[in-house]
Structure 1
Amino acid sequence: MDIVFLGPACRPAAGSQADTAPRQLAQALRRRGHAVLFLERTAPGTQREESSAVATYLDLADLHARFHSRVRRADLMLVDADVPQVADVSRWATNTAGGLTVFWDRDTPRTLARHALREDPGCMSPELFAGYRLYLCSSGGPVPRQLEREWGVARARVFLPGVDVGHFAPGSGRTRWDLGHLGPLSAERRGLLTQWLLGAARGWAEGRFVLAGMLSAVDDAWPANVARHAAPSPREQAGFLGAQRFTLALSQAEHTPGANLFEAAACGAALICDPWTGLEDLFALGEEVMVARTERDVLRYLLAMPEADRHQLGMRARARVLAEHTVAHRAVQLEQYANEAEQGPPVDGSGALAELSLMGPG
């Protein structure tokens, strides 16, 4: 396919942009033989990146002037939810594209919350979502059906993050912490973080704990055995996760995995998860991840699980990710969704995936 991919804005930090999920997906699609032009908005005065694979634009007028014809003849137009001026860009994309139009929402709980609060008049509206022929969402369960029924989305499909296995693998460094958590984390899950990680730290004074990227989630009552750590860069995440005996992997919302679930599993981390609906479709509970319901469960895993069992837990989770949840699997999944959408309108209720599974293709 000839694909045009509108990604998030260029980031000023050198070396970080190549690690973003949109760029990784674009690279995976190219490896499958597709021609992918990845477009990013850049600030005036910055050096433009121009090639047959990546190009930048200044604003919507520049986007239209330089890439109108390419978008018109592309087989697939993919728009990331974090593209600047997403509402205006979506209106332009759906009116301009001659092929299949796809919206990739990597944070569907955020989208639903913004719509409920109507906090930003520049955000997407149901009418703009309905202009796309395929909506890729990060939440499973009843959410895709809700998007189709309430927002008029033609076809909503679950599309979870995929891991670039070249960047995430078990490390060989020393263990520094017994339990850690890497943000971001939704407000509704911060209570679990306070209860489980900080509660476990208070219950086990000899334990070593770490919290990264979510320092605003706690108050002044910070246990002395909990380290504060800046959010690691994408290239530092594997080392950070590998330095933990266990990783607390909390869901983002109902039916939605946390942002770093698959990365942590790919690093061979021993995961402790909250019991959200859909987790059982991604990992075997008790064999690939452990489920906690209270801070006592967390402490029990930390104190009672033999080291060999902990290591095997992490390795089984990594094997599941390599078999089903890499960015290469997501590229195949996008192909399947695109082929399905091109065949015509969905049958009744199929937009929620009849099996309501969060799993990608094996």
Structure 2
Amino acid sequence: MKIAFYGSSLVSSYWNGAATYYRGILSALAGHGHDITFYEPDAFDRQQHRDIDPPSYARSVVYPATADGLRSVLERAGEADIVVKASGVGVFDAELIDGIVRHAAPHALKLFWDVDAAATLDEMRGDPDHPVLRALPDLDMVLTYGGGPPVVDAYLGFGAAECVPVYNALDPATHHPVPADDRFACDLAFLGNRLPDREARVEEFFLRPAAALPDSRFLIGGNGWETKAMPANVRHRGHVYTAEHNAFNCTPRAVLNVARDSMASIGFSPATRVFEAAGAAACLITDAWEGIEQFLVPDREVLVARDGQDVAEHLSTLTAERARAIGDAALARVLAEHTYALRAVQVDALLRDRVARVREAA
């Protein structure tokens, strides 16, 4: 089937944390015979910071971030069997979701794919004229990249016809163990852009243990941290390209996952870095959130921290041997249960069934 996907960016992860999720899901879906076109705006300097060339599994269409550019790609929606608007494109989000409803063919399946459901739901609660809320009666389904029962219940309560979580996962061809790289040598590393709803948790789970362990080495990667005051034992790497993620995860004694505020409060929302780190057989320390056991077993496949003190205690007692054992166990778990190939089986069956229903109704 032909899929028209309107998202932030497929070719660049610059200020675009959903890039590896899009790549994993769409490359695996293409393996089921789908013909995918990904439409992304030329915005936020993403095209100047590409991680990959246009991939073979999807046509990459970059359009000017202008009204004319938007119009030119929305007109193509009518050619598709499945039309998808992802959250967080960053420009013309309201116009895009209105546009896919207006331009999709009568027989087409119309989806909203929410890669930040907790934040979207918070916005909808505060804005009765939110564009997603307006569009829900005309959408066939909402997919989310996490959130579990709380997000499903919330979307159904807002009037969604159906809501299905499609969790982050691992693409083992992209994220896997590699030799250590001295550029990323440290005791604890964290990778994530500086965002308002994450910064306080980074202060607690990363900077607080750094201050408590002055003899340990800490490394932070991602955009925006260059102006942040940090302890002397913290080194800032800046933007880390996806080609460097494996070395970033493999080299430190442990790597840290810190959820954004909204995702931590809802739970059931493992970030892409959880599976990237596990795929590289890294020893992962994550902040505590409900549902972690669904993905990795605490103390055996992941270390869980309630606060910065827990992180410091984990690091103080973590030997190289135990770190390797935890990383190896995490890798085995995600390869068995949490790959994008497995997610694509779920999504492919879901899409084919719902397209058949929509065509029958049309």
SS state of the match for residue 104, structure 1? strand
1:100 Cα deviation from its structure 2 partner:
1.6
Offset at residue 267 of structure 1 (A) = 1.3
Match of 2:94 in 1: 87
Q: Which amino acid aligns with 1:177?
A: C
When residues 130 and 218 of structure 1 are mapped into structure 2, their CA distance, relative to the original with a 3 A threshold, is farther
Distance in 1, Cα, partners of 2:169 & 2:228: 33
What's 1:152 paired with? 159
Rounded to whole Å, the distance in 1 between the matches of 2:11 and 2:327 is 33
Q: State the identity as a percent.
A: 27
Are 2:83 and 1:77 aligned? yes
Equivalent in the alignment of 1:247: 255
Query: What's the TM-score once normalised by structure 2's chain length?
Result: 0.79
CA distance in 2, matches of 1:303, 1:174: 23
Q: State whether structure 2 residue 329 is matched by structure 1 residue 316.
A: yes
Aligned residue in 2 for 1:354: none
CA separation of 1:24 and 1:310: change in aligned 2, threshold 3 A: closer
Please tell me whether the aligned partners of residues 130 and 154 of structure 1 are also in contact (alpha carbons under 8 angstroms).
yes
How far the C-alpha of 1:333 sits from its partner, in A, is 1.9
Please say if 1:199 is aligned against 2:212.
no
CA distance in 2, matches of 1:187, 1:213: 14
Q: 1:334 aligns with which of 312, 329, 347?
A: 347
Deviation by residue 1:256-293 (Cα, 9 ceiling, x = unmatched): 22342211111111111122111111111111001112
SS at match of 2:111: strand
- Contact kept? 1:215, 1:228, Cα under 8 Å: no
Assess if the C-alpha contact under 8 Å between 2:11 and 2:19 holds in 1: no
Say if 1:194 and 1:218, in contact at 8 Å, map to a contact too: no
- Tell me how far 1:27 sits from its aligned partner: 2.2
Cα 1:37–1:301 shift into 2, 3 Å:
same
State the shift of 1:165 in Å.
Answer: 1.9
Paired with 1:270 and 1:320, the residues of 2 have a C-alpha distance of 13
C-alpha RMSD of the superposition: 3.4
Alpha-carbon shift at residue 9 of structure 1 (Å) = 5.2
Shift of 1:64: 4.6
**Shift in Å, 1:152:** 0.7
Within the alignment, does 1:165 sit opposite 2:172 as a pair? yes
Name whichever structure is richer in helix by fraction. 2
Work out whether 1:209 is the aligned partner of 2:215: no
Question: Which deviates further from its counterpart, 299-308 or 235-244?
Answer: 299-308
Q: Match of 1:295, as an amino acid?
A: G
Tell me if 1:266 matches 2:273.
no
Aligned match of 2:118: 109
1:127 equivalent to 2:134? Answer yes
Q: 1:232 aligns with which of 228, 240, 251?
A: 240
> What TM-score do you get using the length of structure 1 for normalisation?
0.79
- State whether residues 102 and 136 of structure 1, in contact with CA within 8 Å, keep that contact through their aligned partners in structure 2: yes
Distance 1:234 1:102, change over 3 A: same
Deviation at 1:188, TM superposition (A): 4.6
In structure 2, stretches of 5+ residues that fail to align are 48-53
Tell me, yes or no, if the aligned pair for 1:141 and 1:278 is still in contact at 8 Å. no
Rounded to whole Å, the distance in 2 between the matches of 1:298 and 1:280 is: 18
Asked if residue 295 in structure 1 is aligned to residue 308 in structure 2, the reply is yes
SS at match of 1:141: helix
In 1: Cα distance, 2:212 partner to 2:57 partner: 57
Residue 190 of structure 2 corresponds to residue 181 of structure 1: yes
Quick one: which amino acid aligns to residue 320 of structure 1?
A: R
Distance 1:227 1:283 in 2: 29
